[in-house]
Structure 1
C-alpha cells in the first residue's frame, strides 16, 4: 500500500519556463509524478475561439524537453492539462506533435496518451432538451442558438479521464481542458490518497511557485499522506510559509474556504497550516464533500465581430487638465463623423475609448486625484467585418491626432504610437458559456486515446 505520494509541479503553466535545476531537485526529493497545467481562460476568449495557443512553440518545446527527460529518467508519469491554452482538440494535437518530435530526437521510449475534451453543439442540445445543462451565476438559461454560435466548446474534465489513461499504461498524458487541480490530483487519488488532502494540495500547487515567498524561483513539491500534506519549494533559497500557502485558496475562487470540482467540493474551513521549518509547511484538516450529481463545466467562445485598434498619446498639460471633457468630446465627434462620412448607425459598429494613465483599468472607481502626467488613448472599434472596423478607425484618425478641448483656439498635435495608426486585430471573441452539464459517467464526455491506439 502506498503511504505517501509526491507531486512535482515545476511551473504554473507549460511554456512559462522554469529553472532546470529545480526540476532536478524535485526528482532528488523523490517525486512520484510531474503535473503541469498547460492553459487557462485568464487571457480571454480569443484562444478558445480561435483554437490557437497563447504560448510560443519554442517555449513549450523547451519546457517539454526538460519534462520528458525528467519523466524518463525517474520513470514517473508526466501529466499536462488544458493543452494549447484552452484545451481544444487542436491544442492537444499541437502539444502531442511537439512531444513526439522530442521523443524521437531524444530517443525516449515513453507511451503517450491523449484526452480530447471538445464538445459538439448537436450533442449538447440533446442534453439541454433533457434539462441536464444548468447556468452558473450570473449566466442565464442556455439557448440552443448560443451553442450553435460557438466556434469551439470544451468540457472541463475532472481527474477520472486522467486516471483512466494512467491505468491504460500511459507514461505521458496530454489532456484537453481540465480543472487545474485535476491534473495534480489524479495520480495521488489513483494511489489511494485521501480526497481531502489530495484536492487541497492540488489546489495549492496548481500555479507552481505562486504559493511561495518568491514565485519567480521555480515550482514546488507536495507530499500527500493519510492525514494531510507537506509542501516545499524546489529552490533552496525559496520558502513556503503558512501565509503564502493559505493565501493561494484566495486565488481564482469565489469562496476562500471551498471550491467546487466536478465530483464534489474542496472544503478547507477546518484546515490548519503549520511551519515545519523556515521552508516547509504542513497542512491538515482538509476534506472533500462528494456532490449528489457529477457535473462538468462547459466553456464556449464565439466571434463578436472584427476589431481595429488605434493608439495615440497625450502630453499636453492643458488637455490633461480636462481629460474627461476631452474624451467625452472625442466620443461624441467620432459618432457624428462616422454617421456623416460612412452613413453607419450605432447598431452597425461599436467603439471603446480607454485612457491609459488615467482610468483605463479602474474606470469610474479610479481613486486618483489631480491631472495625469501623460495619457495613452486606445480606440477599439468593433464591426461585423474588418473593412468597416478599419474605416471607422480611419474616420477617427484626425480627431485622435488634432482634437482640441472646447476652450482651445488652436489644434494640438498628439502622438500616434504606430504608422499606420490603425492595427487590424482580426476576429474578436467572447465567452458565452458559463454552464454545467449533468453526466452519468465522469469519462463519457471525453475521448481517451491510450498508447496502444496511437503511434507513440
Structure 2
C-alpha cells in the first residue's frame, strides 16, 4: 500500500504556492500535514506561551488548508501549533479553526493533542530516575519554569487520528511526527517513513525552489518518493540527501521517540527531472523517551539605540563603547547602589560586529554605526531606570577627555524601549515513558456551523 502525504509548507504562517497546493489536492493525498513552529526563534514563544506568527497570516493560510482538506476528504494535521505547542497555543489554533469552520460552513471533528507538562509530573519522573540530560543540558530547576512541553512522536498523532478527527491540532511534536504517523500505522517501511518525514518536514526546502512550499511524499514497503509541486521546482538526489544535514548534528542518524533513523545505507535515485526515489534507510528501535523543553524568565530588558555618523566615532566605535561601559557601570553603582552582578549592560555595534561580536573576522569602514544598548535587570522597573540613567551619556559621551561633547542620533523618541521579560531555555532532557500517551492528553470536539 502506498501512503501519499501532502506537505503544503515547512511552517504555517510563511506562505506557500496556492496553485501547487491545488495540484497536490488533485493528486488525491491520504493526509495533509504541516508544522506550526519550533524553537528556532529562541525561548520567548515557549516561555510566554505565544505564537510568533501573525494571527491574520495564520488564519489566511489555514483557511486554504481547511478548504483543501474538505475537497480532498482527508485529515489535516498541524504539529507544534502556535510555534511552541503549549496548551495556550493549541487553544489559540483551535479558536482560529472554529472561527473558520463557521465562516466556511464546515462540520468538523477536531482533536486537540496537548503536550504541556505539569511541573509535578516532571518532578516525579526526575525523582524516579526517568529523566536524562541531552548535552549541553542545564541543571534542572523546576520551581520557576513558566512552561514545560514534551515532544510528541508518531504514536500520539496516531492516537489523535484514531478518533476519526477531520483536523488534528497538536501541541509540541517532533518535526517529523505528523508526517510519519499515518504511513507507519498503515505498515509502510519504518526506515523509509522516518527518512521521508525528515526530508519533507520543511516542505520544499528539499527542492531547488525552497520558497514554493508544497511537496508530495509517497511512502511504501521499501522506501519513499518525493516530488515538489510548484512549477519549475525540482528535487534532485543532492537536494534531498542534503536535508539530512539540516538542524541535525549527525547526517546519518535522527533520534525520535522510540528509536532512531539510520540512513547509512540509503540510496538516492532520480526518477526523472523532478522526483527522487530513496530506499535503504533503516529504523533502529530503542527505549521510548520524549524530549522535554522548558523556559523561564531570566530578567527584564530595556533597550536604547543611537547612531554614530561622525567619522571619528564610527571608526573608533568599539573604543568608545568600552570607555562608555566602564563609565556607566560606575554611575549605576553610585546612583542606584547596584553591583554589576545585579544587572547586565551590553552594547552591540550594528554594522561592525552586531551579529558575531568578538568572533567577527571581517573589517571595513562603515559610514555609520548603530549602537544598540541592552539592559537586563531583575525587574522591568529597574531595567527602565537604568535605561533612563544611561540615556544622556549614550547621546553625548566623548571618546577622550580633551574632546568637546559630541551629539549622536536617536532614531526614535523616547530613545529607550521596555522589552518586557527575557526568557531562557531551562530544559534539554528526555523523559522515559512506559506508555506513549501517559504524558499527553486528547480532547475531541464536534463543531457544527
Matched, 1:229 2:224: yes
CA apart distance, 1:451: 4.3
CA apart distance, 1:294: 0.7
Q: Is the 8 A contact 1:92 1:174 kept in 2?
A: yes
Matched, 1:199 2:194: yes
Q: Is the 8 A contact 1:168 1:451 kept in 2?
A: no
CA distance in 1, matches of 2:314, 2:353: 12
Matched, 1:219 2:214: yes
CA distance in 2, matches of 1:399, 1:244: 52
Which of 303, 307, 312 is residue 301 of structure 2 equivalent to? 307
Which residues in structure 2 correspond to 1:51-62 (within 5 Å)? 51-62=49-60
The size of the alignment, in residue pairs, is 449
CA distance in 2, matches of 1:348, 1:257: 45
Which of 87, 102, 116 is residue 100 of structure 2 equivalent to? 102
Which residues in structure 2 correspond to 1:193-342 (within 5 Å)? 193-291=188-286, 293-342=287-336
Q: Which moved more, 1:101-110 or 1:407-416?
A: 407-416
Q: Which moved more, 1:412-421 or 1:435-444?
A: 412-421
CA distance in 1, matches of 2:426, 2:213: 35
Q: Is the 8 A contact 1:196 1:288 kept in 2?
A: yes
- Alignment-derived partner of residue 164 in structure 2: 169
CA apart distance, 1:20: 1.7
CA distance in 1, matches of 2:402, 2:321: 15
Query: Structure 1 stretches of 5 or more lacking a match?
Result: none
Matched, 1:119 2:114: no
CA distance in 2, matches of 1:181, 1:32: 17
Q: Is the 8 A contact 2:108 2:448 kept in 1?
A: no
CA distance in 2, matches of 1:378, 1:20: 40
CA apart distance, 1:408: 6.1
Which of 36, 39, 52 is residue 37 of structure 2 equivalent to? 39
- Alignment-derived partner of residue 419 in structure 1: 413
Partner-residue secondary structure (3-state), 1:305: strand
CA apart distance, 1:225: 1.4
- Alignment-derived partner of residue 339 in structure 2: 345
TM-score normalised over the length of structure 1: 0.95
- Alignment-derived partner of residue 130 in structure 2: 132
CA apart distance, 1:450: 3.0
- Alignment-derived partner of residue 355 in structure 2: 361
Q: Which deviations, in whole Å up to 9, do the C-alpha atoms of 1:344-391 show, x marking residues without a partner?
A: 111221122111111121222211124333221111111111111011
Query: Structure 2 stretches of 5 or more lacking a match?
Result: none
Which of 172, 185, 188 is residue 183 of structure 2 equivalent to? 188
Which of 48, 73, 97 is residue 75 of structure 1 equivalent to? 73
CA apart distance, 1:178: 0.3
CA distance in 1, matches of 2:139, 2:379: 29
Q: Is the 8 A contact 1:300 1:433 kept in 2?
A: yes
